[in-house]
A and B are shown apart, each in its own frame.
Chain A
Amino acid sequence: MEPTGHGARSRDELVIRIEGVTKAFQTPDRGRLTTLDNISLNVPYGQFITIVGPSGCGKSTLLKLIAGLTPTSGGRILYQGAEVRDLNTKVGYVPQESKLFPWLTLEENVAFGLDSKRYSREERERQLKYFIALAGLAGFENYYPSQLSGGMSKRASIIRALAYEPPVILMDEPFGPLDAQTRMVLQDELLKIWEQKRQTILFVTHDLVEAVALADRVVVMTHRPAHIMDVIDVPMKRPRNIFAIHRQEGFDEAYTRLWDIFRHELHIKTQ
């Protein structure tokens, strides 16, 4: 399988431009709750971006806006130059829970996005085999999600989004509820897959170590109404070794910066 072919694009060409986006929800008592306040962010092709911020600040909402699942209240989002108005079928989405379709087998789940108009039968088979093997799920093709472990479902959910090769993949705390060990293994696998494909990834997480370990850039969001407080470049080389990430050059620098921002934010909260 050849890479998705973003190599030809210049490193700085943007796939997503978020321009002054605001999002407000109606509260149960008919008031308005501003969740995102004037968010602007540029995302170049092939970058791995992680997004951190306090719970309830609007990280999931931001991903939903990019996917076109919910409209913005102000500002606009450009995807490959066109404004996102309706469902954005050019992004892959990995929700917080795995959300595999329980009535389809693992293989049918992964194949779901492989449209028969875009992929011939052989290509489809090849693609499936490749991704299922890559995620270490070979032999489980005919299992239903109810027969898979949490970690296996997670991996399947990720390759379901990767398999049809959308240029951008949105991941909402995909490793959230997993134990530390499984998490690391999956982070490692995700990076390996990504290094081969170099799709653009926006990855929401609660975990600062994870945020630094995976990212080219870490986006830090504030409390509600959330704006982007800072964007930190992570100067670590690739490929990275997740299992010894602390010892890698550049990790400490980025992590310390991130932690300083968070400490500052927490301090403000306690006053």
Chain B
Amino acid sequence: MTIGATTSERTAAVERSGFLSKRRVWIVLVRVAFVGGFFLLWEIASQRWIDAFLISSPSRILTSMIAGFRSGELIQHCWVTLQEIAIGFPAGVILGIGLGYAFGRSRLLAEVFEPIIIALNGIPRTALAPLFIVWLGIGIWSKVGVVFLLTFFLNFFNTYAGMRQLDQEYVDLARLMGARGWKLTFRVILPAISPYVFTGIRTSIPFAVIGAIVGEFVAATEGVGFFIRQAAGLFRTADVFVGIIVLMLMVIAIDKVAELIERRALRWQSTSEHVRIQG
């Protein structure tokens, strides 16, 4: 009576992942060689060809970084920047998704406010950072504001795009089966648009960090952005690089967390990440 998937499909998948793991070793090896080569070249360049005062060197950066973390100074700066992101980013994500969803649900809302939102989006948002300092002071709240602003629009636009792509038939079917309110929103609509929502969240992560740093560049007494500006002012190139690397790690760490959540939430999608195109 039953036709369809069998255990052979499952074993095929296992075999493929076994093959992949062998491949993966190669991929990692090539990657490590590439990055290692780059650092080696940098180190050599700083000793022979270009003044280390300008480009610093991997060994100097490492020394500065260790010193910075030992003294606790760098940790304090990271802590401040992380706080700004930890408040501004989730607020921007949630409100962005919320408004995008509301625009998708209410045609009237969308018709009235869409041009306004698009106009607002035309403002180069980092240019507003000085205003935020005026309004919210030089403490963390002005930076929270900039982080929020940068995060909000990306999440709003992605969620709204998802809402416009939403398949009417899924909604109709769910409603015919009696889904309303909470169930319709959280069991049907949000899952249906979740690939868009996660695209919004993940593209906004680097922008959240940019927001915090720009705010700190403009006026601050603490934070990684402040640390970088101060180091540059004193021509401590190694410290500038330390700051940049710390920010990079921050983005990567937040993105990893987001990726984990995304993986769990989107595990229903077919797992192959690459479309195979031959020819």
Contact = CB atoms under 8 A, between A and B. Distances in A.
Interface stretch (B77-85, B153-161, B171-179, B219-227): B171-179
Given A136-B1, A146-B270, A149-B3, A112 B191 contact: no
A18 B174 CA distance: 25
B5 A143 contact: yes
Contact of B175 (A87, A95, A149): A87
Contacts of B175: 87, 89
Contacts of B1: 136, 185, 189
A149 B4 contact: yes
Interface residues of A: mostly helix, strand, loop or mixed? loop
Interface stretch (A100-108, A202-210, A231-239): A100-108
Contacts, number: 77
Contact of A93 (B173, B191, B269): B173
Given A99-B169, A147-B5, A152-B5, A104 B268 contact: yes
A125 to B, nearest CB: 18
Interface string A43-70: 0000000000000000000000001010
B188 A101 contact: yes
Determine the interface band of chain B, counting residues with CB < 8 A from chain A.
20 to 34
A144 interface: yes
B178 A95 contact: no
Contacts of B270: 146-147
Interface in A128-157: 136-137, 140, 143-149, 151-152
Given A101-B191, A103-B192, A113 B4 contact: no
B2 interface: yes
A148 B170 contact: no
A93 B179 contact: no
B230 interface: no
Given A149-B4, A189-B1, A102 B269 contact: yes
Nearest to B190: A103
Interface string B261-279: 0000011111000000000
19 contacts: A69-B172, A87-B175, A89-B175, A89-B177, A89-B178, A93-B172, A93-B176, A101-B174, A102-B269, A103-B192, A103-B194, A112-B174, A112-B187, A113-B178, A146-B268, A148-B4, A149-B5, A185-B1, A185-B3
Interface of B: 1-5, 167, 169-170, 172-179, 187-188, 191-192, 194, 266-270
